[in-house]
Structure formats: C-alpha cells, structure tokens
A and B are shown apart, each in its own frame.
Chain A
Amino acid sequence: MLQFPGMTEEDIKVFLAEADEQLQYLEDGLLDLEQSSDDPEVIAQIFRAAHTLKGSSATLGHDKMARLTHSMESALDLVRKSQMSVTPVFMDLMFECLDMLRILNREIATAQDSGADITELDDRLLDVIESVERQAGADGTPGEVGVGVASGVPGPVPSGEADGEAGGAVGGWDVPPMGSRPDEPAWAGQFTGPGDVRVRVRFAKTCPMPSVRAYQVIDRLSALGTLAYSEPSVDRIEAGDDVLDLVAVVEYDGDALEPLIEAIRSVTDVEDACVLQVGHIGSTRTAMQPAAAVQEATPPGGAPDGSTRKATAGEAGGAARTVAGITSARTTAASSSATTVRVDVARLDVLSNLVAELVIDRTHLAQLESRLADKHGGDELVSELNRTSTHIGRLTTELQEAINKARMLPIDNVFKRFPRMVRDLAQKQGKEVELIVQGEDTELDRSVSEEIGDPLIHLLRNAVGHGIEPPEERARAGKPPRGVVRLSAFRQENYIVLQVADDGRGIDPEMIRASAVRKGIIAEDAAARLSDKDAINLVFASGLSTAAKADDVSGRGVGMDIVRKNLEKLNGSISVDTAVGRGSTFTVKLPLTLAIIRALLVSLGQRIYAIPLNSVEEITRVEESDISTVGGREAIRPRGEVVPLLWLGDVFGVRGHDRSVRLSEPGRKVFAVIASSHEGKVGLAVDRLVGEMEIVIKSLGTFVGNIPGVSGVTILGDGRVALIVDVPSLVRSVVDERNAVSQC
C-alpha cells in the first residue's frame, strides 16, 4: 500500500489526470522526435512533459517517478542544448523510461507498489549523461541546487553535479533542479526569477508541536514572498491542526531559491523539504483543479499557448488538451478551470436513465391529455394542460439530446495509443511504417469508444503485419520503402465510420481461395465458383490466416472472424476493399452510441419486439402459398432469392402466435421481416408491424444471463419492456441447422 502523506484523494486524482496527459505528451513527443530528430519544438515538448511530471511527482512524494523523470530531464537537457544527438539507442531508452513511468503511474493510481525498480534505467540514463559530459569537458555542468535541510542525508548525487554543489535527494525525496543560471535562456527546470514556488515540508513525527512549526514556516515564507496557497490552510494551522506535512505555494520575487531554503532550514523539526519552482501558476487557488494543474509547472517563456503540441489535423481543442506555456495567465488558468469539469460516467448514466424515465412519463402525460380532451372537449383547463405538456415534451427532448452530447468523447482517446503500438510493431518486424491519423476529433459515445479499441488494434496489427511489405520488397515493387497506414474516423449520419487503410500488398483472392480450401473452410469447387469479392470476404471466416506463418504480431487467424462477430454484437459491420499490390482498406461502421439504435417494432398479439433497423433488409407479406420447403426448412422467395423463414412466435415460444395458428385459415397473411447478418438472411414471420422508433438498449443483466435470440431489452414509450431480437444469432441458428443437415 503506497501512501502519500498530506495528499488528499482529490490531490491524487488531480495528479493522475495531469500525469496521464503528460505521459501522452511525452509519448507523442517521442514518436515525433523519432521522425524528426532535431526539431527543437518537439524536444521542448518532451522536456517539458518530463519536467512537469518530475515536479508533480516530487510534490506528491513518489520518489521513484521523481528520480526517473529527473534523470530523463537531465538527459533531454543535453539534447536540447545540442550536446547530444538523438540516436536509436537513445530513443529506445526513452521509450523504456516512458513504459516505466506508466508502471509507476499505475502504482499511484492503484496505491499498490508494483515492485518495479528504476535503478537500472536510471543508471543507463546517468551513463548517457556522464559520457556526454565527459566528452564535453568540465564546463557547462548544470548548476542545480538541492535542498539539504535538517538531518537530511545527501542522496545519490546526480551525475554531472559532482562539482561540489549541493544536489540530490534529501530524506528519500529527489530534489529537482532549481539552479539559478542567469546565462541560460528562460526554460523549464531552471530558476528564472520571479514566479511561483511550491514548497513541501515534512516535519519529524516526533515533533511535539507540528502546527507551530508549520506556522513558523508559513511565517518565514511570507516574509520572503506572498503566500498564495497552503495545504492545510493557514486558518487550520492557526487552529492547531496537526500538520506533519505542509504544502505551500509562494509568489516569490527573489532571483534565487536559497533564501527560501534557508528560511525553511531554520525551522526546528523539519525532516524533509522540497522547494520547486513551478512557473507562473496564475490563480493558485485553482492550482489543484485539473485544468489549471495542466498548466502548472510549465516554464515561463515557453512556447505560446497551444502551439507546443504539433498541430495535427483536427486536433482536439479545449482547455484540457492545451499545454500552455503561460507567462502571466491568471485569467486563463481561472477561466479554463471554470469551464471544464470531469464527471464520472456513472453519474451521466444515472442522468440518462432519469431522462429515459421522463420520456416515458411524458408519453403517458400526452396520452392522458388526449383522453381528457376527448372527454371534456374545449375545456380551458384541458388546453392549458395541452400547452404545458407540449412544452414539457420539448424540454425533455432537448434534455435528452444534451445528455447524449455530454457522453460524447473525441475518438482521439482511443487513437492516441496507436502511434506507439504501430511503431513498436514495425520495428519488431523490420518494417518502415508511417501512421497517419485523421479525424481524431470525431466524437462518439463513450460506450462505443470503450468497445472499438480492440477491433482497431487487430486491424492495425494486420495492416502492419500482413499488409505492409518489408522495405526491400516494397523497393522491388517500385514503392517507397516506408509504408503508410492510414487510420481515419468520420461521421456518416448516425454512424461512425472507421477506416484502416494500408498501401501494402493487398489481399490476393487466389491465395485466399487456396488457403481456405487447404484449411477445409470451403470445398475446392465451391471456392472456384466464388467471386473475387466473396473470396476476399473469406478473411472474415474462422480459422483463416493469410500470413505464411503465425507470429506474435498478427495472430493465428482467429482474429478477423472475432472482430466481425464483436462488431455485429454492437450493431456494427466491417467490410474490406483491396487491390493486389496497392493495399487494403478495412471499413468499420458503428452506431454513434451503443445505447440508442433505430429499430423496427413488430408485434405478436400484445407482445412487442424490436428488430435493429440496420439488419432489416425489407418487409414482405406472405401467405401459405408463398411458403415452400427447401431442405426441410420453410423458406420464402422474395425477389427470387431463397430465404429461410422463422416464426418469431415459435422462436420465442409464444402460444397462439406460432406457425400452426397464424396461417390456419386460407388467405391469411403475416408479415415477414427479412433481416440479415454477414452469414446470410432470414425471414422473421410476425403478426403486425408497429413502427420505427429510436430505442435505448438495456442489458438483461447477469442474473438472467444470455438468452438465445435476444440481444437485450428496451423500454417502450408506454413503459412496457420489449425484447430486442438478436438477428445474427437467429441467422446463425439457421446456418448451423443447415450444416447439420448437410452433414447427415
């Protein structure tokens, strides 16, 4: 169990939110750096991210993260000052550090020590730094100043600082560099004169009067600068609260930190202390708020607001994404923290449920109102009720839309982990791949973004593993050695369309046919009869892998069929478009939200069922004479195509609505809803069509579990619960039956 004394749960949340963001900047930056090893902008971004992480982890008291980021920062500083060039070895080291930081971040999130040891990585970083500095001679050693107070035993002295300056960790806390270097340009990590300074002081456990000591620290700091913030607050300290750990932010006008350090050192019973310049925070009262926290610890004199991240197409804007280098941003910090709120999804779910109830009540109200109108005609009260209920109706609709919007997230949340993944995959396979991401600001419901990650990973793995050729092969084919994988997202009506396109070797229908025959998926003559398009669609069949050999990158051919199955579960679809030698494009289409779909409502007597509209092909009326028997199963022939006919009443065991009853009299007709999945079509015989409606999908829950033929339930306008028909599973049941028959 990890503990961070003096840090509230809220502080840790803020830290984690900030750290996630900084880790992402770090990753984005490293990926960019690998492409353009000398872009000062990119180096600055990475440096800042490492620096910010260092500052916040030191404040939090996470020693390992603070130590590692400190060493990273020192190494990056050399790159920044052009004393070291970016080599592949260095990049790998940085990526390893990034991975380690993610592990450490998880330690904080879970409050569990992962047992991860940073010593080895840290040593390698120090080796890098040392070797550069040995070359560079004795000059230019960073003048970093550590705070050594009270009984602090000097920690390991960061390399390059062995020139006698006080440095390193005190009492287990690594102290970030705070040297004052007038000869240096204004940059993160160096003390740059007037600004905000964060101070953290821990008092000895044996300290008899910690609140008095805390007050002394506050008092002495106040004499040197303006106290902007303290935790606990001055009031609580004065009230005599036990303070073993004090965090304070001081607006400090001096040009060196030493006076502050001296001031703290002079107070009795100080066990540890950490003094850190955090830049110009702006409104420090909001400094612990997430949006403002992002801006904390960014260097004065850094790049102008927002430009620090490489501007990519459709970059998600908004306060939360802005890494700001703010010089005097009091108002910016305050306003951005006021316009963004992080909300637990569970709370949004509660709101959605409540609104759904409201919609049902509204419908009920409208019904009551029309019954009253029938009864009392032109009564003044009735028309007033009418006006009110219409207004409530409109408000409810708007409310529902607003809440649905609040659940939307830019798809960037999903996409951001892919650049690194593609890089690693490509490197592992000795391929050169550029990943181009488009439309990352496309918004979609959170429920969808949680589900699309895995299918996309699969498609990207395939694109790199199967699609893109090794550089030599590409050269032979007259292509540039570096392959391009394009990941894009866009909206199409109520769907989100995701595409993974590569300019690789494409899918050869001949190879697919051969492979499918060899694996017994399809008979040879049947394979020969398949159109090229149908043959290519066999990539979605179970057990087919086109890679010459299975490897840990592109799997063993169990992938694509599962991808398709999972997407269909979400009422989505996948298709492929490919040309030999030119590449393949996989297109995934998903409803914008998994919670709401359009459905066709049908009925069996009083019972209503919902059939997802995306699977409905057409609707026909059938009577006894339209039904023939094909292979022992009833079928109809709309447009000449043989479609097996299922009676929904039989499927769901609804007495009085099964086949035997419904067509007992000559000339009677039922409706057949022709519905399809990738495996084929099925006609569903029902009594009546009720209409088309947007429905909110709800699960049957774990207590009932999976019910064959039912994918979920929904609540209708009148409050009744209707079952949602699981079309793919019904089609499958027919296919299975057919297979079973044909094997006899």
Chain B
Amino acid sequence: MEHAIAGAEMQLVVFELGDESYGVDISRVQDINRMQEITEIPHAPESVVGVINLRGRVIPVIDLRKRFGLPEAVHTKDTRIVVVHLEGNLIGVIVDAVSQVLRIPADIVEPPSPVLAGVDSKYLRGIAKLDDKLVILLDLDFVLSRREQEAISEVLAEEV
C-alpha cells in the first residue's frame, strides 16, 4: 500500500535525528508539537519517556534517539514531538528537529542498503536520494510497534 509505485508521488514529513534526515509518510502524521512537559511513567517500557497532554488526549511519547541507540541529546528550541498514528493509537516521537515537508517522486526511493548510520535496515522502507541529501524512509510500524520491541533490542544488542 505504501510501497513505491512508478510515477506516483510521496509526501513526506522530514525530520532530523543526529546527522541523518528521516522521512515518514505525511498521512501518518497527526501533529507536530514543540517540546512540552512530559509526565514520566515509572516502570514503563524503555524508550517510552512518558506521556503528554495533546489537547485533552493523553498520549505516550517515545524518544527515537533511545530507540535507535543514539546518545541522548539536550532538548533545544528545535526539538519537536511528532505525533503519528500507530495501530489506532497516537504516539508522540521526540526528534531533534522537523525540517520540511517534501513531495518526491516515488521512483527516486531505493531499497535500503544493509546498514546505515547505526539504524538497522529492518527499520527502513527505503532511501530517497535527493540532490543535496539522503532521506531515510522509516518503517514506523516496525520502529514503534511494541510487538517488535524485543526484535529491536536484539538488533541493538548485536550492534553493540
């Protein structure tokens, strides 16, 4: 469904994490918020930082840096919480910055190369090659799904 079709276009929300640019399908993004106070949840799954109040709804927030095993970063004025749909839930994802919304032809997306920037290729749906940079298309379902969490930690363990 979300796979590239020749001639088709994709619209991506592009965000920054570490030195990389990542893209997620815009239809999955509900909201982009500035950093706000996060209520910590004790004994929560590891990458769940806590919960926030998104206009009356309480939604969990995960730190993508933690999920990807990247070093923790200080939150800045650019830090954003990208709220995405996941299996009927809304999940907030902390990223370093949201840089742009991008419309790209689907055929510039290439299948992921084996390992890239510390993020295992299992997370990726592909890589969009733009003139000035590469945008990594994330497989949100895989990255965020709790069912896959163990698989992810295994992947991370292997890398260490």
Q: Does B86 contact A (CB under 8 A)?
A: yes
Q: Does B59 contact A (CB under 8 A)?
A: yes
List of A residues within 8 angstroms of B40 by Cβ? 607
CA separation between A705 and B60, bound complex, in Å?
A: 10
Q: Does B57 contact A (CB under 8 A)?
A: yes
Cβ–Cβ contact A721 & B53, under 8 A: yes
Cβ–Cβ contact A700 & B41, under 8 A: yes
| CB contact list, A619-663 vs B, under 8 A | 651-654
Q: Does B43 contact A (CB under 8 A)?
A: yes
Cβ–Cβ contact A653 & B42, under 8 A: yes
Count of A residues near B, CB < 8 Å? Answer: 29
List of B residues within 8 angstroms of A607 by Cβ? 39-40
Q: How far is the CB of A611 from chain B (nearest CB, A)?
A: 15
Stretch at the interface among A212-220, A242-250, A349-357, A455-463: A349-357
Q: Does B130 contact A (CB under 8 A)?
A: no
CA separation between A607 and B50, bound complex, in Å?
A: 13
Cβ–Cβ contact B51 & A704, under 8 A: yes
Q: Does B91 contact A (CB under 8 A)?
A: yes
Cβ–Cβ contact A704 & B44, under 8 A: yes
> Would A700 and B51 be within 8 Å (CB), given that A707-B42, A707-B43, A722-B39 are in contact?
yes
Q: Does A739 contact B (CB under 8 A)?
A: no
List of B residues within 8 angstroms of A723 by Cβ? 39, 41-42
Cβ–Cβ contact B56 & A721, under 8 A: no
CA separation between A713 and B59, bound complex, in Å?
A: 10
> Would A715 and B53 be within 8 Å (CB), given that A701-B58, A704-B60, A720-B37 are in contact?
yes
Cβ–Cβ contact B51 & A360, under 8 A: no
Q: Does B89 contact A (CB under 8 A)?
A: yes
Cβ–Cβ contact B57 & A720, under 8 A: no
> Would A703 and B39 be within 8 Å (CB), given that A354-B56, A721-B58 are in contact?
no
Cβ–Cβ contact B56 & A700, under 8 A: no
Q: Which residue of B lies closest to A712 (CB)?
A: B58
CA separation between A734 and B42, bound complex, in Å?
A: 18
Contacting residue for A698 out of B58, B86, B89, CB 8 A: B58
Q: Which of B44, B45, B53, B55 gathers the greatest number of chain A CB atoms within 10 Å?
A: B53
Q: Does B48 contact A (CB under 8 A)?
A: yes
List of B residues within 8 angstroms of A654 by Cβ? 42
CA separation between A703 and B43, bound complex, in Å?
A: 13
CA separation between A700 and B39, bound complex, in Å?
A: 12
Cβ–Cβ contact A715 & B58, under 8 A: yes
List of B residues within 8 angstroms of A709 by Cβ? 42-43
The interface of chain A, by Cβ under 8 A from chain B, is: 353-354, 356-357, 360, 607, 651-654, 698-705, 707-710, 713, 715, 719-723
8 A-B residue pairs with CB within 8 Å: A357-B56, A607-B39, A698-B57, A703-B144, A707-B44, A709-B43, A721-B58, A723-B39
Q: Which 8 residue pairs across A and B have the least CB separation, nearest first? A: A357-B56, A721-B39, A652-B42, A353-B56, A698-B58, A356-B56, A704-B60, A703-B60
